[in-house]
Structure formats: structure tokens, C-alpha cells
Amino acid sequence: MALSIGIVGLPNVGKSTVFNALTHNNVLAANYPFATIEPNVGVVSVPDARLARLAAMFASEKILPAAVTFVDIAGIVKGASEGEGLGNQFLAAIRECDAICEVVRVFVDDDVIHVDGRIDPASDVATIETELILADLQTVEKVVTRLEREAKRGVAMRTLASLKPRRPKARSIRASSSPR
């Protein structure tokens, strides 16, 4: 099973450029928000010189290096946890990843627009982390709600189970009421 790393950040910070550099792909890296809508996926083999030695020692027929899957995910914006921008798509893609690589813009280039109109890496990190925390909180709230329903059903089932011995079984009632 390959490690899956989601590349996340605000729009126009260089996520697709980092993805292209890591995967040797050539996906669109454009100067407008949400140039990436569907996640781009690239798989990279992890070089390991020890594999050849191990293959020789054990006469392996095939050498399969470890792989890392990189996922270039659409930019996140304030309010993504409530569906702003491509929030729901972003969050669904991120949940499928094992790890997050956060890309933050620190470069100044008047030709590359910033979603907030200013370069402020600390604010960008806070926005991303806040949206991820809010999304996690929504997930936890859904689980708590489900567990509360299950717990209530469990209490109801235990109540029914405790009443069972007191309740005569239909078969025994029929048997006692049948003529002999």
C-alpha cells in the first residue's frame, strides 16, 4: 500500500508547481483560482539502493520499490468547511490522503494574484489550519451524533432484553391454553 500525500494550500500558491516537480508531470499550473478542480494524482517510486542488494541475496525475480502517491488538491479558501469555494470537494479529497503537504506562498509577484489580495504567510497558514480543524470538528460531531443514536438504541435494546424474562412467550401461552 502506497503512502498518499495531499498537497494543500490556498489558490495560486504553487501547489500544482510542487506537484509537477515531485511527479515529473505537466499538469496545468495557472494564474487563477481553482485551476485545479479534480485532484491530480501522480505516483513516484522511492529510490532505495538496498533493493538491488536484497534482490541479489534472495534471487528475487522482480524488484518493486516503495511508492508515494501525491495528490494535487484544489485550493482551500475561508469558509471551505461550510462549502465555500470547492470546500466539499477539497475536504473529500483530503480525507482520502494519509498525510498533508501544506504549501504556503511567501514569494512576491504582482503577476500572480493572491486570493486575499496580500501576501501574509502566517494568515494563510491560519486559514488552512482553521478550515481543516473545522472540517475535523464536523466529522467528530457526526460521529458523536451517530454514537448517541446507537447508545439510545443500545439502552432500548437492554430495556427490551430486561423485560423479556417477565414476558411470557407466545408458544408457552398457546401450549397452556390448548385443550388436553
- In the block, cell 484544489 appears at 74
**pLDDT score of 71 more than 90:** yes
Query: Is residue 8 situated within a structural domain?
Result: yes
Query: Is residue 166 situated within a structural domain?
Result: no
Note down the domain range covering 52: 3-144
CATH number of the domain that residue 113 is part of: 3.40.50
Distance of CA 120 to the CA centre of its chain: 26
pLDDT digits over 119-177, tens only? 899 999 998 888 888 878 888 888 888 888 887 877 666 665 665 655 455 444 445 55
Query: Is residue 81 situated within a structural domain?
Result: yes
Query: Is residue 169 situated within a structural domain?
Result: no
Beta bridge partners of 102: 8
Query: Is residue 162 situated within a structural domain?
Result: no
Question: How many distinct structural domains can be found in the chain?
Answer: 1
**pLDDT score of 30 more than 80:** no
What percent of the chain is predicted at pLDDT more than 90?
A: 27
Query: Is residue 93 situated within a structural domain?
Result: yes
Do 74 and 103 form a contact (C-beta atoms < 8 A)? no
Q: Which three cell numbers stand for residue 96?
A: 482520502
Q: Which pLDDT score is estimated for 173? A: 45
Mean pLDDT of the chain: 79
How many angstroms separate the CA atoms of 13 and 75, rounded?
A: 9
Query: Is residue 177 situated within a structural domain?
Result: no
Query: Is residue 179 situated within a structural domain?
Result: no
Q: Which residue has the higher pLDDT, 80 or 107?
A: 107
Question: What is the value of pTM for the model shown?
Answer: 0.69
